[in-house]
Homo-oligomer: A and B are copies of this chain.
Amino acid sequence: MSSKTSHCKIVDCTIRDGGLVNNWDFSVEFVQYLYQCLNEAGVDYMEIGYKNSPKLLKGADSAGPWRFLDDGFLRKVIPNKGRTKLSALVDIGRVDENDILPRSESLLDLIRVACYIQDVDKALELVQIFHDRGYETTINIMALSNVMENQLVEAFDLIRESVVDVVYIVDSYGSLKPNDIVYLVDKFRSHLPNKRLGVHTHNNMQLAFANTLTAAEKGVELLDASVYGMGRAAGNCTTELLVAHLQNTKYNVRPVLDMIEKYMIPLREKEEWGYLIPYMITGMLDEHPRSAMALRASADKDKCVDFYDKLTTPEVAHSK
């Protein structure tokens, strides 16, 4: 791309968002190899999982360790940290602040707080705690395509006065188009002139990379991606496409291709993500992919027309 994107940084979310696909069943070797590849590729951040507390989440026992990152475990996984920083995501109400060490005692550099619009106040309380412990912070407002203007403006007032470093535009449903991204970036920028911006996209309509590029060219700084697009449902913007196209000589696509060849192609044989018609349908209807995920897990997984009819017939349509 043009030099318009030289300010950008990539946040690879393969383990965190991809973990939603395989219940975080990544081997330590997988995660170590990914870290090494991302570091060689010049990727700025690796989001290595969630920092939620298993005490606060049902059904936690079956999930891999990347869902409940432990600082001691992390030191064993990444004994030699390179230039790629480490990030973790937390959800409102699922994080125990006592689990969060001061940054000086942790391998983590960045803690990101995901929330829906009505919980921005709670998210900012957590942001304050993490900030005080020395971390870089972001707030990731999910499902923006379903948020009314008045709610958003109220949230902006809180965020503007907070310590948060970066505010994310999150296309949770993969329903946004490049024009929508332009609109949102302009809105965020005008209401939050003192904050840096980030973007997280989904590929339901094959627009994740295009939307991310659009945001980048509009000045958005942190760009989420995952290797081979691995992420919930239709997946994310791919790390390989961003690394290949952002105008920054430090990026090198070859190590990402190495990761894809060694681990991601075999994994894609076992696990499913990407552009599939049920995800396209929930994206075009601007709703959560959960109904499509349920369909893909059933014997009717390819019954696109019935699925479309169910979601578009008013008397039987799921509520969002």
Asked if B206 contacts A241 (CB within 8 A), the reply is yes
Asked if B241 contacts A257 (CB within 8 A), the reply is no
- Of B178, B254, B302, B303, which is within 8 A of A178 by CB? B178
Asked if A208 contacts B206 (CB within 8 A), the reply is yes
Asked if A241 contacts B280 (CB within 8 A), the reply is yes
Contacts of A304 in B (CB 8 A): 257-258, 260-261
In this complex, the member of A2, A260, A277, A308 whose beta carbon has the largest number of chain B beta carbons within 10 angstroms is A277
Contacts of A52 in B (CB 8 A): none
How extensive is the interface on chain A, given as a class? 35 or more
| A221, CB-defined interface residue at 8 Å | no
The segment from A87-95, A144-152, A191-199, A209-217 found at the interface with B is A209-217
Chain A contact residues: helix, strand, loop or mixed: helix
Q: CA–CA, A92 to B177, complex, Å?
A: 38
In this complex, the member of A203, A210, A281, A303 whose beta carbon has the largest number of chain B beta carbons within 10 angstroms is A210
Residues on A facing B (Cβ under 8 Å): 1-2, 177-179, 203, 205-211, 213-214, 217, 228, 238, 240-241, 244-245, 253-254, 257-258, 260-261, 265, 274-275, 277, 280-281, 284, 302-305, 308-309
